[in-house]
Amino acid sequence: MNQHGRHVERHWRAHRPASTAHLQDREAFFTAAGEEIQNRIAQLTPQLAGPDLPGEDSLAKVARLSNARARATEMALSDSGLFTTSELTRDEWEWTTQEHSEGLISWAYRMQEQADGWVDHGLTVEDAADRYLLPETFLREMVSSSSPRRFLETHPQEWEESVEARWARDSQTG
């Protein structure tokens, strides 16, 4: 694990302990995070440094490259999204997640339009199953029902299991 991976790990232990605890392979996660940051720094540094300047002496060049690397590091760390200072509570997550019940109901109605040949939304049951963590059979039944909203309302256990599974997934990856 490089210095950036260790930096992410220290930050997560201090500010995101629940997410850290849910990681299946902490070493691999923080190693990969550090490598991604390092790769981004390597990509940004030459862009920020620009070409050698006419008449630039070696000291000025070292200063220009050092400044570019420092700015690249700051940008890469910030852009990584790994340095948030707080974790969402379950309620905050439910308020902000895009995979809410109204979204699923809307998806089902659009799937019905698609199945009837009215419009091709490019939707698939498989994608929705991955997104909502619901069984494909459940989703197919929902789409074939006369009222997807009523169908979902009459299957609260399945929906709650989906919410729990997505909360576990999303709070783990932070």
Structure tokens at 141: 């039944």
State percent of the chain over pLDDT 70: 93
Q: How far apart are CA 79 and CA 106, in angstroms?
A: 32
Cβ burial 18-44 (10 Å sphere, 16+ → b, else e): ebbeebeeeeebbbebbebbbebbeeb
pTM, to two decimals:
0.50
Place of tokens 């009459």: 154
The predicted-structure confidence for 86-142, as pLDDT tens digits, reads as follows 666 777 677 767 678 888 999 999 999 999 888 888 889 999 999 899 999 999 999
Spell out the domain ranges in the chain: 3-79, 90-173
The predicted-structure confidence for 65-91, as pLDDT tens digits, reads as follows 999 999 999 999 988 888 876 666 777
Q: How far apart are CA 166 and CA 146, in angstroms?
A: 27
Within 10 angstroms of residue 5's Cβ, the number of other Cβ atoms is 21
